[in-house]
A and B are shown apart, each in its own frame.
Chain A
Amino acid sequence: MELYHNLLPLPSGYFGASSALYNLNGLIIIYGPAGGAWHINIEDEPRWYRNKTKLLGAGLLEMDVILGRDTAFVDRIVEVASDLKRSFVAILGTPVSAITGIDLKGISKAVQKRLNIPVLYINTIGSEDYCIGAKKAFLELAKYFVDREYITENKTINILGAIHLDIGRSSHLNPMLELIQQCNFQIKSIWGIDSCISKIKNCAGAELNIVLTSSGLSVAKWMYNQFNVPYILGFPVGKRAVEKFKRILEGKYNYSNLTKTSKIDKKVLIVGEPVISYSIKTFLKKELGLKDVIVLSRTPIDELFSAEGVIYSFLEKGGEDIYTSVESEISKVINQDEIDIVIADPYYRILIKNKKIFIPLPHIAVSARFYWDSSYEFIGLTGGEYLKQYFCN
Chain B
Amino acid sequence: MLIEKSRIKVICLNEKKDFPFAPLEAMGPNISGWGVVETTLLLPESVCLMVGPLACLRHSAFMAHARDFFNRFYMLPIDELDIVMARHLRIIKNAIKEIILETSPKIFILSSTCCDHILGTDYKRIIQEIEEEFDIKLIYTVMAPLTIGQKPSPFEMAYSALYEYLKKIIGKKVPSRLNILGNFLPITNTSELYNLCNNLGLTIYQIPRINTAEELSLMTTAELNIVIHPLGEILAKKMKKGLGIPFLFVPVSYGLLEIEQNYKKLSEKLGKYIDYTPYKKEAHNYIAKRLNLLRDKKVAVGCSIYGNPFELADALLEYGCDVKAIFCRNAPKLFELQYIKRLKEKSPETFIYNISHPYLMEKLDVFDDIDISFGVDAGICCRNSVNVPLSRYKLQTYGFENAILLFKEIEKYVSTPIKNYDWIYKHNLLI
Chain B residues whose C-beta falls within 8 Å of the C-beta of A64 in the assembled complex: 146
- B65 near A99 (CB under 8 angstroms)? no
Can you sample 22 A-B contacts with CB below 8 Å?
A: A1-B95, A3-B95, A3-B98, A4-B57, A8-B61, A10-B54, A14-B55, A34-B29, A36-B25, A38-B356, A42-B424, A49-B425, A53-B359, A56-B25, A66-B118, A83-B359, A84-B2, A95-B52, A95-B80, A125-B80, A368-B62, A373-B425
- A56 near B430 (CB under 8 angstroms)? no
CB within 8 Å of A: which B305-341 residues: none
- A95 near B55 (CB under 8 angstroms)? yes
- B54 near A12 (CB under 8 angstroms)? yes
Proximity bits, B95-124, A CB within 8 Å = 1, else 0: 100110000000000000111011100000
Which stretch in A73-81, A145-153, A205-213 binds the other chain?
A73-81
Interface size class of B (residues with CB under 8 A): 35 or more
Q: Which A-chain residue is minimally distant from B84 (CB atoms)?
A: A99
- A35 near B53 (CB under 8 angstroms)? no
- A9 near B58 (CB under 8 angstroms)? yes
Interface size class of A (residues with CB under 8 A): 35 or more
Q: How far is the CB of A241 from chain B (nearest CB, A)?
A: 33
A144 to B22, CA, bound (A): 30
- A63 near B28 (CB under 8 angstroms)? no
Chain B residues whose C-beta falls within 8 Å of the C-beta of A63 in the assembled complex: 150
A129 and B83 in contact, given A39-B59, A49-B421 (Cβ under 8 angstroms): no
Chain B residues whose C-beta falls within 8 Å of the C-beta of A77 in the assembled complex: 24
Chain A residues whose C-beta falls within 8 Å of the C-beta of B75 in the assembled complex: 3-5, 9
B149 interface contact, C-beta 8 A: yes
Q: Which B-chain residue is minimally distant from A95 (CB atoms)?
A: B53
- B361 near A34 (CB under 8 angstroms)? no
Known contacts A32-B114, A127-B78; 9 further A-B pairs (Cβ under 8 A): A9-B57, A12-B53, A50-B361, A52-B361, A57-B28, A59-B25, A83-B2, A95-B113, A99-B83
- A59 near B24 (CB under 8 angstroms)? yes
- A37 near B61 (CB under 8 angstroms)? no
Proximity bits, B59-95, A CB within 8 Å = 1, else 0: 1011001100010011111111001100000010011
- B146 near A65 (CB under 8 angstroms)? yes
The chain B residues found within 8 Å of chain A, CB to CB, are 2, 5, 22-30, 52-59, 61-62, 65-66, 70, 73-80, 83-84, 91, 94-95, 98-99, 113-115, 117-119, 144-151, 356, 358-359, 361-362, 364, 380, 383, 421, 424-425, 430-431
Chain A residues whose C-beta falls within 8 Å of the C-beta of B151 in the assembled complex: 62
Chain A residues whose C-beta falls within 8 Å of the C-beta of B148 in the assembled complex: 33-34, 61
A52 and B80 in contact, given A35-B29, A126-B53 (Cβ under 8 angstroms): no
- Residue in A33, A53, A77 with the greatest tally of chain B CB atoms within 10 Å: A33
Chain A residues whose C-beta falls within 8 Å of the C-beta of B62 in the assembled complex: 8, 39, 43, 368
- A38 near B28 (CB under 8 angstroms)? yes
Q: Which B-chain residue is minimally distant from A79 (CB atoms)?
A: B23
Chain B residues whose C-beta falls within 8 Å of the C-beta of A373 in the assembled complex: 425
- B73 near A95 (CB under 8 angstroms)? no
- B25 near A126 (CB under 8 angstroms)? no
Q: Which B-chain residue is minimally distant from A101 (CB atoms)?
A: B84
- A5 near B74 (CB under 8 angstroms)? yes
Chain A residues whose C-beta falls within 8 Å of the C-beta of B30 in the assembled complex: 35, 38
A59 and B70 in contact, given A33-B144, A99-B115, A127-B78 (Cβ under 8 angstroms): no
A265 interface contact, C-beta 8 A: no
A46 to B66, CA, bound (A): 15
- Residue in B29, B84, B118 with the greatest tally of chain A CB atoms within 10 Å: B118
A133 to B419, CA, bound (A): 34
Q: How far is the CB of A384 from chain B (nearest CB, A)?
A: 29
- B26 near A33 (CB under 8 angstroms)? no
- A34 near B424 (CB under 8 angstroms)? no
- B59 near A43 (CB under 8 angstroms)? yes
